[in-house]
Every structure is written in C-alpha cells, then in structure tokens.
Structure 1
C-alpha cells in the first residue's frame, strides 16, 4: 500500500483508521460549550466502530453520566468482512467472556450497549458496557444495523472512507443528527454540497483541513513522511496523519456563528501580502463574479458574487454569507466552467481559475470554487 491519505484510502479501500481520543474530545466539547444539554436524554449510535479499541466508545462511555446520555450503542464490523491484510488477534477480553463463540468471533459483528450501572460501583462508565454478537456481520446497510440507526437520535463515528457517500446517504435518509469524519474534498460531492448549501450540514469545530493523526492496524504500511509528521505531533508507532480530514455535522457549535473580520477591497489590495502585485481582483470571464483566492482576502464591501476556495467553509458563518453555488462539475446544479485551448490567452480567468493542459491541447479547469455573497450587504 502506498502513501496513506483520504483519497488513496478510498481507492485502496483501506478503511482501518482509528480516531484519537484527544481529537474526539476537542470536537465534542465544542458542541457542549454551545449547548451543555446537546446529548441529554439522547440515544447515541457509534456504527462502523470497533468497540474494544474505539476511542469513540471509550469517550462516550466515560462521559455517559456527565452528558446525560440515555443509551449508548456501539457496533463493529466482522473481522472476516474487513479483509485484514495483517493478522488479527482475538482479544483476551472477548475470549474470556462467557458468550465467546470461536466461529462468531470472526464472522459476526458485535454490539456494545450502555444504559445503567452493571458493576455495582454506583456510577455508569466504560466498565458497564454489555456486549453480544450481532446476528450478521455488522454492515451498516444490514436490516439489523438499520434498526439501531432508526432507534438512535445521534450518529457519531469515523465511517469507512471508501463508503463515505453511501454512509452519509444512509444517515440522511433516516433524518438523524450526526458527527462524522470525512475528506474535505467531499464538499464537492453531489450527495454533500446540496446539504451544505441549504445549511442542513456543515463543518465541525476543529481539525478541518489540518493534520489529524489516526492509529492503523499493526503491520499497515505507512509512508515515512506521514510517520514523521505523526511523530512530531506526539504519536510514534502504528499511526499515520491525514492532512485533508475534517468533521461533518448537523450539531451546532459556536465557531459556526463567529463572523470573519475582513478588510475592504481597497485595503486588501494595499495591505494583504497574499495579493501582492495585484491592482484589482480578477473578474471571471464566464460568470459575473470576482475570484478571491484566499479566505482572508474576502472584501467586506463587495455586494456581488465571489468565488472562494472550499476551505472557506471552515470559517463560514450563515449569518454573514450566503452560499450561491459551486463550480465543481459533479455537484448538482454546479456552475459549468469553460474548456480552453492553447490558442486562448494564458491569462484566462475561469471560475476554477487553475487548469491542467491535456495532451489533446485542451486546458480543463480543475479546483472547485464556492460561490458566495455577503448577506449584510445584500439584505
């Protein structure tokens, strides 16, 4: 397996990435800061998980009482169905349990539930998790897991990267709240962007587009650069870092409502070092909008449409801006971009702006742009 990142994980169907406890804690605390009762009285489902190893399970079990959770459900996918490339060792925890079944241990998924004190120590925590084998392999599309989805109020997990689109659709069909990890580029997916545009889904509060470290199964081949970057963040051993990961959610948080502090167009051109040498903002030649190549270069006094990088969504406040559309060719109702030839001026200014030259002399725009408008100037 080559260098591990989210897009390659999708292609290689390498879905075994385990989220760090610290990253989960930071993200969930942001929702609690905004609404301390966000999980109170709720049933939380953690699917596509491995409860014996999962930091999601540990985190929510340890905070069960503090968050006021009604019920915690965590499910795993069967060992044989995951097609491990390296050896899988059954844990002593499972082998020593009275319900242990040698055949089911590899062919069936498991379900862990937490509702009350089982140990008699007058508190509800990770020691009170109760488990059994699922009837099937734990596939989220199975009727068995669908029933658990329908029972839940909130779904939280790091889903299989190769199945992100299907998994998101699986949640949305049931109308459930969620907090899941994915690839920042998923913003351009036709299953994702309409939800973002309508403010039915948004980015989480932390780690968006930045390095996140994930544990990987022992023996997984990890690129040396990723190992080194993980080590610099304090993780040595079977870890990798994914530089384009982010949280997607339907749960509100305070960062989402913090407006960007921006300069005027004139001040940006004069003082913003990222625009050094520019006398004016580029105007697209195929759409009535200006190109803003950096989020911190968005002018606060322009009332028209602006094309901005998709990373803008990490700073997006629905009270400050309206999302008009997206240029990517996949998304529903996307704004189509022009195709240029070598005969065209080298100073073309397309919605996507950057381009690659194909062998047949076509120049095809690539990187997507979000199209936004300032709400306060247009209302």
Structure 2
C-alpha cells in the first residue's frame, strides 16, 4: 500500500512539473488494441504524441498495418529539449512520419529508412501543423501528456475524432470527462488499473517501492496501477450487465444514506443491490463496468448543497450517483 501511494505521488509530481515521459509498453498496447481490430479497416490512424523512432504505438500499427487493413499511419512527436529516453543526443527537430504499409510482409520498419519529415514547429498537438494532420485522421491512438489530458480530449471532441487513449483514473473526476461519459460520448476501455502493467520512464525518474522493475531490455518500468484507457470506439464490455446479487431490503444498515442527497452509499460495485430503485452513490471505478443500458448516471460527487457527498459529516472518496434502470 505504501509503495503504491508513493508511486501515485511520483505521477502527481511529474504532472505538476509537466514531466509526462511515461512511455507505453508494447504488451499493454497489444492487450488493449486486440479488442478494437474491426474499427481500423481502411482508416487513417494518427499517433500525435509519438516519436516513430521509439514509439511502441508506431511499432504496433506498422507491424499490424496489413492485418488491420489500415489506409495510413501518421505519427508526430514533440521536440525534446532534454536527453531522450532512448538516445544520448538531443533531438533537434520535431518530426512526423506517414506510413502506408510494407508490401513485403509485416515487419516493424525502421523509421529512419522510411524517411522522417521535420516539422516547422515543435510538434505540440495544439500546433497548426499537428491540427492539420489531425484533420486527416479517422482514429487517434496514443498516450497523451497526463498534465494536458483535459485539453487533449477537448481537441479530439472539437474535431469529432474517434480515439483510444491512456489517462490517469482520476481523469474520470474531471467534469469535462465525466460529462462525455454521462452523455454516452466516451467510455472506459477494456483494461484499467493492474490491467495496465506499467510505463517505461527515463533514467532521471526515481524508481520507488516494489511496483517497479527493470525489464530484460534494460527499460525502467513503473507500475502505478491507476491508469485507464478512454475511448469512443464501441466495445463488447460496455454492453455487459453487472451481475447483481446483493439485496438492500433486510440489509439497510450496510447502505447508509448521504446527508446532502437522497441516495444510499455503496462502497463496492459488487455490492450494488438488485432491489433498490432509488439513487445510489458508487465508487468511480464503477465506470469500468458501467453499461448505459442497465444504469443511468445521475450526478458526480456533489450533493444538493453543491458540497461533496457526506455521511454523518464525513466525505467518502468521490462517488458517482446512479440509478438502476432494470428494477423489477
């Protein structure tokens, strides 16, 4: 528990310092992307936070280009002012790469051999150059800067793009992100928490606790266990009902009511009662199992007095207010 808390603090410090160098492992990309293969046929994929010389997102899509039936793969990277994770020298130019497939069999191509095109600017996803490339894309897939997550998602929504991106679990608590989920315009992907095995970090990031390691390739891995995939690509999971086995009536003492909202508190998603037709406050991790056909999202975090939901004057960790649509 201490190790996990320290790791989460590391991510918080990195966010505050605008150090967003958490690189996604290929195994985690493969584990998630295998559930979305049908969405990519004849599509242009844009990885706009990815240096093709070392990005595992580029490696995944380049290797699986023909299998997925992609039309084009575009990657761009932000100019790096510090020593790169994989290179000793500094990158002098932000670059982009357009890839249309290897006709001699699926293999991971060498980005340098394909040809990198320097960008005029710094490659920031908010730059005109990057936005012009974004307009060409059908689907955006990447690990965006955690410190700019809200702004990043806002841009995707503005340009009406399909997306599959990694973020911190706390992104659910952002009012802009929750609004998208409530309006059924975005939802959680397949893997979350320990389902995402960890991120490669630079040498200057200190490795804390037991949830860190150095892999067979010498990569330094940190596993915060508090990240998720956010997407607007259809998945099987969000149409699966949560199996409910608990009952409210006869066990009312297990479900105290909030002081400032007419609702009961439910500490775990698995404890949602099957016979309660009123409003319930559930943990934010409920959204990983949320089926919009089974439940209605009412409100996030606040009671009728616009203060955090409380029980006997004490506030549990953030709650999402929901209602079961299928009470018999």
**Fold shared by both chains (TM-score > 0.5):** yes
Deviation at 1:352, TM superposition (A): 4.2
Deviation at 1:52, TM superposition (A): 1.1
| Structure 1 stretches of 4+ moved >6 Å | 232-236
Ranges in structure 2 where 5+ consecutive residues have no aligned partner: 1-5
Superposed CA deviations along residues 189-234 of structure 1, whole A, max 9, x for unmatched, are: 12211101011011110124656310112333222x0xx3233998
Aligned pairs (5 A) from 1:293-372? 293-328=267-302, 336-338=305-307, 351-353=309-311, 365=315, 367-372=317-322
Deviation at 1:123, TM superposition (A): 3.1
Deviation at 1:14, TM superposition (A): 1.5
CA contact (8 A) 2:212 2:220 kept: no
Taking a change above 3 Å as real, the CA distance of residues 260 and 232 of structure 1, as seen in their structure-2 partners, is: farther
Q: Secondary structure at the match of 2:62?
A: helix
Taking a change above 3 Å as real, the CA distance of residues 310 and 187 of structure 1, as seen in their structure-2 partners, is: same
Q: Distance in 2 between matches of 1:6 and 1:335?
A: 33
Superposed CA deviations along residues 51-93 of structure 1, whole A, max 9, x for unmatched, are: 111111100110000000000001111122xx45989524xxx
Q: Distance in 2 between matches of 1:318 and 1:235?
A: 42
* Matched residue, 2:233: 251
Answer with 1 or 2: which has the greater Rg. Answer: 1
Equivalent residue in structure 2 for 1:123, among 105, 119, 133: 105
Ranges in structure 1 where 5+ consecutive residues have no aligned partner: 91-104, 270-277, 329-333, 339-349, 355-362
* Matched residue, 2:67: 66
What is the number of equivalent residue pairs in this alignment?
319
CA contact (8 A) 2:260 2:304 kept: no
Taking a change above 3 Å as real, the CA distance of residues 317 and 108 of structure 1, as seen in their structure-2 partners, is: same
Taking structure 1 as the reference length, what is the TM-score of the superposition? 0.77
* Matched residue, 2:144: 159
Q: Distance in 2 between matches of 1:352 and 1:171?
A: 35
* Matched residue, 1:89: 88
Comparing 22-31 with 366-375, which one deviates more in the overlay? 366-375
Q: Secondary structure at the match of 2:16?
A: helix
Equivalent residue in structure 1 for 2:27, among 22, 37, 51: 22
CA contact (8 A) 2:50 2:77 kept: yes
